[in-house]
């Protein structure tokens, strides 16, 4: 029985990556006020910022709108309105104001990125992909945009393209463990086991308590038939997260490959005790 690696191992990394990327919607850009004489538009803008810091979205929106009435080209107010509407879940208005921002300032890469995230949420994958590429064309060093593109390619099965985007992300920032996790997952699926293990090594080096890093590396070792190394990594993963029932299935399978049937079945039973949905099938197949 072959374990479904894509769904069982890497779904958590995909979800975590998505949460990190979509957090951009929660990070509006605030421009600090100065003591010099300011225009009416800026005055409303600064008042809106004060309301925003107090989580008073109603009055913040009113002041940003007044800033736009005073100066129709005030793109910063459009951007902040988009952020508030995004936080409120009003994606239609959020998209509208990101688009207005870009009409007024077409070189603002973060607005393309945030609009791409909105488009992904609302199912407009074509628009999301276009905006991510635009964000990168405006700002070549846009780390998060490369991550998003890599994630999209990974999820769509475009693994070579995903690896290329993750390569670019790592060139810009080589200290983020999830990039190595995702690139290693891609390399695993295209059959580059040595490359995958190298990336998983970096994953656990950067985040030693991330149990999925050991699971990833363990499965790659298992695919290379290095079952003892695979078992060692599963043991480490289970020390960090004893409730990860899938780890016992992996251990059981690798012990079975080493002709240790009793130990294998003990691990399958542990997975069953933890209510793993696949454990019963393993018990029936390997422990009759």
Identify the helix (H) or strand (E) that includes residue 80.
Answer: helix 75-88
Is the pLDDT score of 36 beyond 80?
Answer: no
Which alpha helices (H) appear in 5-158, and where do they start and end?
A: 5-9, 11-22, 40-53, 57-70, 75-88, 91-104, 109-121, 125-138, 143-156
- Model pLDDT for residues 167-177, shown as the tens digit of each residue: 999 999 999 99
Which bin fits 23, alpha (ψ -120 to 50), beta or left (φ > 0)? alpha
Q: Which residues are within 8 A (CB) of 103 and not within 5 positions of it... i.e. 6 or more apart?
A: none
pLDDT for position 1: 44
**Structural contact between residues 237 and 264, judged by C-beta atoms closer than 8 angstroms:** no
Is the pLDDT score of 23 beyond 90?
Answer: no
pLDDT for position 30: 52
| Cα–Cα distance for residue pair 176/150, rounded to 1 Å | 14
Identify the helix (H) or strand (E) that includes residue 253.
Answer: helix 245-257
Is the pLDDT score of 20 beyond 80?
Answer: no
Please tell me which residue, 24 or 59, carries the higher pLDDT value. 59
Is the pLDDT score of 71 beyond 70?
Answer: yes
pLDDT for position 38: 84
pLDDT for position 92: 96
**Which CATH number applies to 31-135?**
1.25.40.10
The full set of domain ranges for the chain reads 31-135
């Amino acid at each position: 029985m072959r374990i479904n690696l894509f769904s069982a191992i890497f779904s958590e990394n995909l979800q975590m990556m998505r949460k990190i990327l979509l957090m951009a919607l929660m990070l509006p850009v605030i421009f600090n006020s100065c003591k010099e004489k300011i225009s009416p538009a800026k005055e409303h803008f600064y008042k809106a910022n004060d309301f925003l810091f107090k989580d008073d979205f109603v009055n913040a929106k009113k002041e940003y709108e007044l800033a736009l009435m005073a100066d129709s080209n005030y793109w910063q107010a459009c951007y902040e309105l988009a952020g508030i509407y995004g936080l409120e879940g009003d994606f239609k208005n959020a998209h509208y104001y990101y688009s207005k921002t870009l009409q007024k300032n077409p070189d603002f890469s973060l607005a393309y990125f945030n609009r791409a995230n909105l488009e992904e949420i609302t199912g407009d994958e074509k628009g999301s992909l276009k905006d991510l590429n635009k964000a990168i064309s405006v700002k070549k060093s846009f780390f998060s945009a490369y991550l998003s593109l890599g994630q999209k390619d990974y999820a769509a099965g475009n693994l070579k393209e995903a690896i290329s985007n993750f390569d670019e992300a790592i060139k810009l920032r080589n200290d983020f463990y999830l990039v190595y996790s995702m690139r290693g997952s891609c390399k695993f699926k295209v059959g580059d086991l040595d490359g995958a293990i190298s990336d998983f090594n970096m994953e656990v080096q950067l985040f030693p308590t991330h149990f999925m890093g050991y699971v990833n590396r363990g499965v790659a070792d298992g695919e290379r038939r290095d079952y003892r190394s695979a078992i060692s990594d599963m043991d480490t993963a289970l020390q960090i997260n004893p409730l990860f029932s899938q780890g016992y299935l992996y251990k059981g399978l690798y012990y079975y490959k080493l002709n240790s049937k009793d130990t294998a079945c003990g691990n399958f039973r542990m997975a069953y005790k933890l209510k793993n949905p696949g454990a019963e099938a393993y018990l029936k197949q390997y422990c009759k």
